[in-house]
Amino acid sequence: MVDVLDPEKLTGVQKTAIFLLTMGEKYTLEVFERMSDDSIGEIGVAMSRIDHITPEMLKAVSLDFVGRFEGETKMIVEGEAFLKKIISGSMDKDKANAVFEDLEKKKQETPFIWSKKVNIGTLASYMEGEHPQTIAMVLAHMPSEVASEILMSVPDDQKGDIALRIARLGTISEDVVREVDRALKYELSDAVGPGGKAGGLQVLVDIINSVDKNTEDAVMEHVEEDSPEMANEIRNLMFVFEDMVNIDDTAMREILKKVEGQQLTYALKTATEEMKDKIFSNLSQRAGDMLKDDLDAMGPIRLTEVEEAQQGIVRAAKELEADGTITLGKGKDDILV
């Protein structure tokens, strides 16, 4: 499987892979000789998924290379063949074979990633008749933004039970997860576009962070009744809009780049003065003045619209964190260091 890389969202591993691919086999062999097997394997996965390097990608990795590869042309590379030569040349046969086997496993598509391309209504309808434990297992392994949409569609009297099952879900064999993934994908094959994780508290928190207020309240009420201690742990792990007051200014500016004007205006409608100060201090004078004018001119709006705007900003922040662009604290007393 070949990755489509966004030059602005390259991870450290992807940047390393691009750099080594451009430097050639001899240089890469010398670098690999000084690295651990785990590091070679991690970088190797990224290298094997690259079949071309654009000038934009090179610029993101190192400005020193921009001059050589400017323009619209691509540098064609044999990523996988290149990798095999390097691995074979840097370790003995048995160790190389073990690394190749590990690479093949890691190259498999992430379970349930296809769910992002399926109509949520279709997916939710199909899962309606499943046992709550099955639903919990599937949601725990789906992208959190998809899982949250499905959890919102579940009847209120079932949301809390499913949430608890997600939080208490133990480690599940990767083979079992992939088998369920294949079966569900096959059943929904008409709705899927082209194209071993466990449950636990953090999985549930990632889902709750993206659901609407009604679903969050239903889940937390059920969890509170069943286990007050767990409910307290969940609250401590949850990252909400007002928690952003504790992140550093660099991270806040990155978040604001992804936020639309109206979304920010709505989100600040019920924000604390401290949160408003945090936002305004990270906007230009002109943008800040425009935002203040919009807030002054805005009449009454529905609370649900405010909550949706705030959740949208939180989702943007968490996407940046997932990309490695910023780091968010997990609790209200945590700050970026």
Task: Please tell me whether residues 283 and 180 are part of one structural domain.
Answer: no
- pLDDT reported for residue 195: 37
Reduced 3-state DSSP string for the chain: CCCCCCHHHCCHHHHHHHHHHHHCHHHHHHHHCCCCHHHHHHHHHHHHCCCEECHHHHHHHCHHHHHHCCCCCCEECCHHHHHHHHHHHHCCHHHHHHHHHHHHHHCCCCCCHHHHHCCHHHHHHHHCCCCHHHHHHHHHHCCHHHHHHHHHHCCHHHHHHHHHHHHCCCCCCHHHHHHHHHHHHHHCCCCCCCCCCCCCHHHHHHHHCCCCHHHHHHHHHHHHHHCHHHHHHHHHHCCCHHHHHHCCHHHHHHHHHCCCHHHHHHHHHHCCHHHHHHHHCCCCHHHHHHHHHHHHHCCCCCHHHHHHHHHHHHHHHHHHHHCCCCCCCCCCCCCCC
Query: Is the residue at 332 inside a domain?
Result: no
Query: Is the residue at 337 inside a domain?
Result: no
Task: Please tell me whether residues 132 and 75 are part of one structural domain.
Answer: no
Task: Please tell me whether residues 246 and 229 are part of one structural domain.
Answer: no
- pLDDT reported for residue 335: 33
Task: Please tell me whether residues 223 and 163 are part of one structural domain.
Answer: yes
The pair phi, psi for residue 329, each rounded to 5°, is -70, 150
DSSP string for 287-316: HHHHHHHHHHH-----HHHHHHHHHHHHHH
Query: Whole-angstrom Cα distance, residue 313 to residue 234?
Result: 20
Domain range for 163: 113-237
**Segments of the chain assigned E as strands:** 52-53, 75-76
Q: Is the pTM of this model over 0.85?
A: no
Task: Please tell me whether residues 159 and 75 are part of one structural domain.
Answer: no
CATH of the domain at 289: 1.10.220.30
Q: Would you call 299 exposed, middle or buried from its count of C-beta atoms within 10 A (0-12, 13-18, 19+)?
A: exposed
Task: Please tell me whether residues 139 and 166 are part of one structural domain.
Answer: yes
- 237, 254, 286: which is the final residue of a domain? 237
- pLDDT reported for residue 282: 92
Q: Give the chain's residues under pLDDT 70.
A: 1-4, 62-86, 89-90, 100, 102-109, 189-200, 329-337
Number of domains in the chain: 3
Query: Is the residue at 334 inside a domain?
Result: no
Task: Please tell me whether residues 37 and 95 are part of one structural domain.
Answer: yes
- 237, 262, 287: which is the final residue of a domain? 237
Query: Whole-angstrom Cα distance, residue 276 to residue 265?
Result: 10
- pLDDT reported for residue 116: 75
Task: Please tell me whether residues 142 and 224 are part of one structural domain.
Answer: yes
- pLDDT reported for residue 70: 47
Query: Is the residue at 76 inside a domain?
Result: yes
Task: Please tell me whether residues 92 and 163 are part of one structural domain.
Answer: no
For residue 307, the tally of other CB atoms under 10 A from its CB is 18
- 40, 75, 106: which is the final residue of a domain? 106
Q: Is 266 within 8 Å of 255 (Cβ atoms)?
A: no
- pLDDT reported for residue 62: 63
Task: Please tell me whether residues 230 and 294 are part of one structural domain.
Answer: no
